[in-house]
Chain A
Amino acid sequence: MLKFTADHEWLRLDGEVATVGITDFAQDKLGDLVFVELPKVGAKFAKGAAAATVESVKAASDVYAPLSGEVTEVNAKVAADPALVNKAATGEGWLFKMRLANPAEADGLLDEQAYKALID
């Protein structure tokens, strides 16, 4: 089940590891992505800290850590082909995985219904 932030990130929880990406709404708003900057594996982020950057032709946007934790893996495919985020934002276009400091915090994020209400 996906969880969402008001900053248009999504998060898929698998035990205490969360896969993170930007939402389809966000990729559509940004337009064609031409560059993705991913964090280093092992980097630690507090909830809300800038963890990655996605850039369209026109502008750069920060991607925030949806929860506190440590990066365990990054998606090298999107670094090589940023358009993958446009094609499959919530699938193959994921950005990074992080081991959550406190997985229970995920309960505080938006569910799909609440996120949809936010962007409508």
Chain B
Amino acid sequence: MAEASLKRTPLHGLHLRLGARMVPFAGYEMPVQYPDGIIKEHLHTRAAAGLFDVSHMGQITLRPRSGAIADAGRALETLVPADVLGLAEGRQRYALFTNAAGGILDDLMVSHLGDHLRLVVNAACKAADEAHLRKHLSQSCSVEPLTDHALIALQGPRAEAALAPLAPAIRSMRFMDVRAVSLMDEPCVISRSGYTGEDGFEISIAADRAEALCDILLRNENVRPAGLGARDSLRLEAGLCLYGSDLDAQTTPLEAALEWAIAKARRRGGERAGGFPGAELILGQIEHGALRRRVGLKPEGRAPVRGGASLFASEDAAALIGTVTSGGFGVSLGAPIAMGYVPVAQALPGQRLFAELRGRREAVGVCELPFVPLHYKRG
């Protein structure tokens, strides 16, 4: 794609001012790193707080035409296997758009904001997601993309202390809470969630106020800007999936080890069993199992094994048994880490497999996810 056609987020000017290296990502010109570099940005997020521009992601309001929020929940449940009707006001939940073959069209967050639902979807999928929602839900809901809003992620153990002076109310939020909060006299929607494995917040704010908010947050010495590079290395350590790499339309929730995202109420025997695309296949897999499964992989050597690498059962086996879908360097671990799909018989922790790397085979061990402890504020 020509650079001229790339879109910019409301924080583009801030990125340039901070000396970011800008790269094309999902049709946007985004900061991959700042002068600190990915390693420092990653470690700072784990130790203090990283500030990420995630405004490229899609924010979509789903408003029930009847005025009854349950109608929006019921409507969305026809597209996702989550328990949306059971989502309490002020809470957020992870969900998956599935297709008729049981594959994953996108992964998303759903928030209950009283009279409407708010979805946050992947940047690369947002046009398709919006069309999908309109096609299937327009009768019962209005589908409104929030194009005039930035989305800012503040992640890390010092995130609460950095944000609280602007909005003391956020101190009482716990993991996956969502609240309408005023920041700098500007109405915002804040969730206590993120994509790093750390405690933190995602702040939806009017585009024209986003840079001012970032400037205030960055005045705190514990807050440093972090780019997409650190975002990717942080999420990989936290064992979180990247749509398009670890998840796609040919991958089912059970294969992806995301069965926790299939609510009990939507499973066989549940109050509202099925009723989402691919339900038959997805619920059948939950009862009978799938052939392959997403696992963590730790290379025994120091060489990173990247997404796309082929996996084999032994050093000389001819048959391909699986593929690495995400891989790189676990900055906090100081060692390479990866995720990939392998046959269930080989998906057990401790299983030794081999990844093809530059014409040779490197030993990798199957391991539990995540690679680092998660620090969500659940209490």
Chain A contacts to B: CB under 8 angstroms = 31-32, 34-35, 37, 53, 55-60
Residue of B nearest to A37 (CB): B303
Q: Please determine whether A31 and B303 come into contact, CB atoms closer than 8 angstroms.
A: no
Other than the known A31-B21, A34-B331, what 19 A-B pairs have Cβ atoms closer than 8 Å? Answer: A31-B33, A31-B37, A31-B38, A32-B37, A34-B304, A35-B302, A35-B303, A35-B304, A35-B336, A37-B303, A53-B358, A55-B304, A55-B329, A57-B38, A57-B229, A57-B328, A57-B329, A58-B32, A59-B306
Chain B residues within 8 Å of chain A by Cβ, number: 20
A59 to B233, CA, bound (A): 12
Q: Please determine whether B302 and A60 come into contact, CB atoms closer than 8 angstroms.
A: no
Report B234 CB to chain A, min CB distance, Å: 11
Max chain A Cβ within 10 angstroms of own Cβ: one of B21, B328, B336: B328
A31 to B329, CA, bound (A): 13
Q: Please determine whether B303 and A58 come into contact, CB atoms closer than 8 angstroms.
A: no
Q: Please determine whether A57 and B358 come into contact, CB atoms closer than 8 angstroms.
A: no
Q: CB-CB < 8 A to A59: which residues of B?
A: 306
Max chain A Cβ within 10 angstroms of own Cβ: one of B38, B233, B304: B304
Q: Which 8 A-B pairs have the closest CB atoms?
A: A34-B329, A32-B39, A57-B38, A32-B37, A57-B329, A57-B233, A58-B229, A55-B304
A32 to B334, CA, bound (A): 13
Q: Chain B, 314-333, contact with A by CB distance < 8 Å: what is the 0/1 string?
A: 00000000000000110100
Chain B contacts to A: CB under 8 angstroms = 21, 32-33, 37-40, 42, 229, 232-233, 302-304, 306, 328-329, 331, 336, 358
Residue of B nearest to A58 (CB): B229
Report B49 CB to chain A, min CB distance, Å: 20
Q: A31-B33, A35-B329, A35-B336 are in contact. Are A56 and B38 (CB under 8 A)?
A: yes
Q: CB-CB < 8 A to A58: which residues of B?
A: 32, 38, 229, 232, 328
A85 to B38, CA, bound (A): 16
Q: CB-CB < 8 A to B303: which residues of A?
A: 35, 37, 55
Report A74 CB to chain B, min CB distance, Å: 15
Residue of A nearest to B233 (CB): A57
Report A41 CB to chain B, min CB distance, Å: 18
A35 to B335, CA, bound (A): 10
Report A87 CB to chain B, min CB distance, Å: 12
A53 to B40, CA, bound (A): 23
- B304: which of A31, A32, A60 is its contact (CB, 8 Å)? A60
A60 to B37, CA, bound (A): 16
Residue of A nearest to B336 (CB): A35
Q: A57-B331, A58-B32 are in contact. Are A32 and B302 (CB under 8 A)?
A: no
Residue of A nearest to B37 (CB): A32
A34 to B332, CA, bound (A): 12
**Could you list some 15 contacts between A and B, CB below 8 A?**
A31-B37, A32-B40, A34-B39, A34-B331, A35-B302, A35-B329, A53-B358, A55-B329, A57-B38, A57-B39, A57-B229, A58-B229, A58-B232, A59-B306, A60-B304
